[in-house]
């Protein structure tokens, strides 16, 4: 209401007030209750984001709506921005966020359509990775792997995940080992939780592939650094002698699956592939 009154009573200063009003609008999107902020945005299309900073206010509002389980409302908000926006940078920001929301909602085809709504000559790595995951989910795994392979080391983690979903355990293990070689800091720098999770996943994928060389490498290279911290026990069991590790895996299944280290099919280790050397 204050915006409307200001615009109505100071029409002769519209150009001068446009910047401050737009800044106030962005603050309102970030601080007002999410549903109120969304309605506020719908009522003022004249304050469509004009730069990346204001676009990020809308993305933040979308996150706040999602936090309230209002994913449909968040998607509608972003779809509205994507329909109206003309600036390529803004369109790409919004389309990426919309694709992520649709993917989280299980709509991989709709997520791909969102990405395609804002094409560019060169796609940023995060958009390439997202596109690859969507392509794999919609059945185009070969194209997905090709895109990720083209990213080199930065695409290795996503490549491992896609191969694991397809139960290509040797391929998943190979890609995950490539990822940790570049993502894990050298000693004596401590491992953060994400790096520990990645090492446990590398052990899981190698165990599923029954790749004894990879398991030995993980044990010897990272065993001491993983000791005494989160996932230490899981890492020891996954990278130890496979027969002993398999016996203890059911006890660790809940911990591992909660961290999305493996699909639910941990029992596949009981019918492991022949050793890879």
Is residue 111 a part of any domain in this protein? no
**Residue of 69, 70, 68, 130 lying closest to 95 (CA atoms):** 130
Please check whether residues 53 and 86 belong to one and the same domain. yes
Residue 132 host element (H or E): helix 125-137
Q: For residues 19 and 21, what is the distance between their CA atoms, to the nearest angstrom? A: 5
What is the reported pTM? 0.80
Is residue 176 a part of any domain in this protein? yes
In residues, how long is the chain? 277
Is residue 196 a part of any domain in this protein? yes
Q: For residues 218 and 238, what is the distance between their CA atoms, to the nearest angstrom? A: 10
Give the pLDDT of residue 35.
Answer: 92
Q: For residues 4 and 156, what is the distance between their CA atoms, to the nearest angstrom? A: 51
Is residue 116 a part of any domain in this protein? no
Is residue 159 a part of any domain in this protein? yes
Please check whether residues 259 and 172 belong to one and the same domain. yes
Residue ending a domain, choose from 132, 151, 166: 166
Tally of structural domains, the chain: 3
Please check whether residues 186 and 160 belong to one and the same domain. no
Give the pLDDT of residue 5.
Answer: 53
Please check whether residues 206 and 131 belong to one and the same domain. no
Please check whether residues 179 and 156 belong to one and the same domain. no
Please check whether residues 77 and 145 belong to one and the same domain. no
Domain with 87 in it: what CATH number?
1.25.40
Please check whether residues 23 and 72 belong to one and the same domain. yes
Is residue 117 a part of any domain in this protein? no
Is residue 112 a part of any domain in this protein? no
Token pair belonging to 153? 């080391």
**Residue of 86, 3, 13 lying closest to 41 (CA atoms):** 3
Torsion sign, CA atoms 157, 163, 165, 167 = negative
Is residue 46 a part of any domain in this protein? yes
Please check whether residues 63 and 128 belong to one and the same domain. no
Please check whether residues 64 and 98 belong to one and the same domain. yes
- Exposed/middle/buried for 270, CB within 10 Å: 0-12, 13-18, 19+? exposed
Please check whether residues 144 and 208 belong to one and the same domain. no
Angle separating helix axes 156-165 and 169-183, nearest 10 degrees = 160
CB-based contact 197:236 (threshold 8 Å): no
**pLDDT (tens place) for every residue of the chain, 277 residues total:** 455 555 554 455 545 555 566 777 778 788 889 998 898 888 777 777 777 877 888 899 999 999 999 999 999 999 999 998 889 999 999 999 999 999 999 999 999 999 999 988 788 999 999 999 999 999 999 999 999 999 999 999 999 999 999 989 999 999 999 999 999 999 999 999 999 999 999 999 998 888 999 999 999 999 999 999 999 998 998 898 754 545 555 655 555 565 555 544 444 444 444 455 4
Please check whether residues 193 and 267 belong to one and the same domain. yes
Residue ending a domain, choose from 81, 106, 131: 106
Give the pLDDT of residue 3.
Answer: 52
Residue 73's domain comprises 1-106
Q: For residues 171 and 161, what is the distance between their CA atoms, to the nearest angstrom? A: 10
Please check whether residues 182 and 274 belong to one and the same domain. yes
Give the pLDDT of residue 276.
Answer: 54
């Amino acid at each position: 209401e204050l915006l409307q009154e200001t615009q109505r009573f100071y029409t002769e200063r519209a150009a001068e007030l446009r910047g401050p009003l737009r800044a106030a609008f962005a603050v309102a999107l970030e601080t007002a209750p999410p549903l109120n902020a969304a309605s506020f945005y719908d009522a003022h299309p004249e304050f469509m984001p004009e730069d990346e900073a204001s676009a990020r206010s809308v993305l933040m509002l979308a996150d706040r709506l999602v936090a309230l389980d209002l994913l449909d409302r968040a998607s509608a908000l972003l779809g509205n921005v994507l329909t109206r926006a003309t600036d390529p940078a803004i369109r790409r920001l919004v389309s990426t966020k919309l694709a992520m929301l649709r993917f989280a909602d299980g709509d991989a085809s709709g997520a791909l359509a969102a990405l395609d709504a804002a094409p560019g000559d060169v796609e940023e790595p995060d958009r390439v990775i997202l596109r690859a995951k969507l392509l794999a989910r919609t059945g185009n795994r070969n194209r997905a792997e090709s895109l990720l392979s083209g990213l080199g080391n930065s695409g290795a983690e996503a490549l491992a995940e896609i191969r694991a979903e397809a139960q290509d355990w040797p391929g998943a293990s190979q890609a995950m080992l490539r990822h940790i070689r570049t993502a894990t800091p050298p000693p004596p720098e401590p491992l953060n939780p994400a790096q520990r999770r990645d090492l446990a996943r590398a052990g899981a994928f190698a165990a599923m592939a029954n790749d004894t060389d990879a398991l030995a490498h993980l044990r010897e290279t990272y065993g001491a650094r993983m000791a005494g911290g989160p996932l230490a026990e899981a890492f020891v069991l996954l990278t130890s002698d496979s027969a002993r590790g398999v016996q203890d895996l059911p006890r660790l299944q809940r911990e591992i699956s909660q961290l999305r280290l493996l699909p639910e099919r941990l029992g596949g280790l009981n019918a492991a592939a022949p050793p890879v050397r």
